[in-house]
Amino acid sequence: MDLKSGYPYWAVKNGLMHAFPALQADHRCDVAIIGGGITGALIADRLVTDGFDVAVLEQRDIGWGSTAASTALLQYEIDTHLVDLARRYGEADAALAYRACAHAIDQLREIASPWRDVEFARADSLYYASRRRDVGAMREEYAARRRHGLEVTLLDTQRIRDDYGFDAPAALLSTQAARMDPYRLTHRLLERLRRRGTGVYDRTCVTDLKATSRGVVLQTRDGAHVRAAHVVFAAGYASQHWLKPRVARNRSSYALITDPLPADRLGFLQDTLLWETARPYLYARSTADGRLLIGGEDDAIDIPARRDARVQKKARTLVKRLHRLFPALDITPAFSWAGTFAETADGLPFFGAHPQWGPRVHFAMAYGGNGITYSVLGADLLSARLQRRRHALWPLFSFERLR
């Protein structure tokens, strides 16, 4: 599936950073990971650290799928409010998910720390009420987060106007957010693994899978076989093709980025992620070189040709929407793009084995707006499962919650 349209900034900025070989011969390993994007890279890095012999198989070039189109809005906030998750699964589990995502930001900082060029930087998150009728729910959300130890501040209209220069009836301000270049981190992680002996193969398409009680055999389009004790599907939205039941729906999201702007024009957006209560939500953040990245305008389109045709119109709409908030901020898109993503009914990911395939075939479906932070948590969860250790997030982040 063609997962992106237009000119995703990370692909333009970084190009093809490294050419990994295609798999040409049969291979054996403990864990075969299908997917060489940010999710596959984070899981591979964790499993190798924990002593597993891993092979990574990517049908495109490494990082060239959804990772290249990601806007890497790194937050602990889940697209589903804590109070809404609590109504579904109980307040204890909902709070566990939120606290885990907050911890994942710290974990990601440690993972990215060896490389300055991945541009990881901490940021604030400003979540504003799009309409006055959203204020009551925002106050309820504020109280729930505070009750469970999450640091957050409720801002009123005057405080928003004074500190941030736009009008909104209320906002939640948190400091547990970040930004980075996900494409570059993917390459840095997988290059390091390759240098240390891990098999990393791109342009290697898996066409068949046979799972038994003793292991898994994968066949590639070129006829090579990979024999592994376990396989992890980390192929983003393409992973759904390997499951009969649909566990998520595909959507498209749109984004643009400007040329570098002077600091005085970026204002608070230099170190704050901005997003809103409306769904789909408008969001904005800056990059390390002072560009403004704006995204949103999600729709239900997942047909590449139709998505391609909408990119420029959606970009113009995004500019208009941000201009309504900040009339003095005159911006021009340098690059615009779109990417297909998936979202689950409850905003939570799926990690682990599915009954359709048995205990040796695992899925890493880090779907939703928290895809990268979910991937960090999923790497922990999958490593624990392969080592037969309990994990607190298993009931909430696995297919068990569908029962």
| pLDDT at residue 352 is higher than 80 | yes
Q: Please identify which residue in the block is written with the tokens 């769904």.
A: 279
Give the CA-trace dihedral at 258, 263, 266, 269, to 10 degrees: 110
Q: What integer pLDDT is reported at residue 3 of this predicted model?
A: 62
| pLDDT at residue 8 is higher than 60 | yes
How far is residue 375's CA from residue 59's CA, in Å, rounded to a whole number? 20
- pLDDT tens-digit profile of 13-54? 999 899 899 999 999 999 999 999 999 999 999 999 999 999
| Chosen CATH of 4-69+183-247+347-402 out of 3.40.309.10, 3.30.70.20, 3.50.50.60, 3.40.30.10 | 3.50.50.60
Q: What integer pLDDT is reported at residue 76 of this predicted model?
A: 96
Output the six-digit token pair for 121. 């930087």
Q: What integer pLDDT is reported at residue 299 of this predicted model?
A: 94
Mean pLDDT of the chain: 95
CATH class name, domain 120-176+250-341: alpha beta
Per the CB < 8 A criterion, the answer to whether 358 and 346 are in contact is no
How far is residue 176's CA from residue 105's CA, in Å, rounded to a whole number? 7
Residue 189's nearest CA partner among 30, 70, 48, 370 is 48
Contact partners, residue 366, CB within 8 Å, separation at least 6: 39, 349, 351, 372, 374, 375, 378
Q: Is 281 helix (H, G, I), strand (E, B) or coil?
A: coil
Task: Find residue 119's DSSP bridge partners.
Answer: none
Taking residues 170-184, report their average pLDDT: 97
- pLDDT tens-digit profile of 364-395? 999 988 999 999 999 999 999 999 999 999 99
- pLDDT tens-digit profile of 84-107? 999 999 999 999 999 999 999 999
> When comparing pLDDT for 303 and 202, which is higher?
202
Q: What integer pLDDT is reported at residue 368 of this predicted model?
A: 87
Give the CA-trace dihedral at 240, 246, 252, 257, to 10 degrees: -50
Q: What integer pLDDT is reported at residue 6 of this predicted model?
A: 84
- pLDDT tens-digit profile of 317-333? 999 999 999 999 989 99
- What is the residue extent of each domain of the chain? 4-69+183-247+347-402, 120-176+250-341
DSSP structure class, residue 241: G
Pick from 4-13, 230-239, 241-250: least confident? 4-13
**Confidence label for 5 from pLDDT (cuts 50, 70 and 90):** confident
| pLDDT at residue 236 is higher than 70 | yes
Cα–Cα separations (whole angstroms), residue 101 to 53, 108, 318? 27, 10, 28
| pLDDT at residue 340 is higher than 90 | no
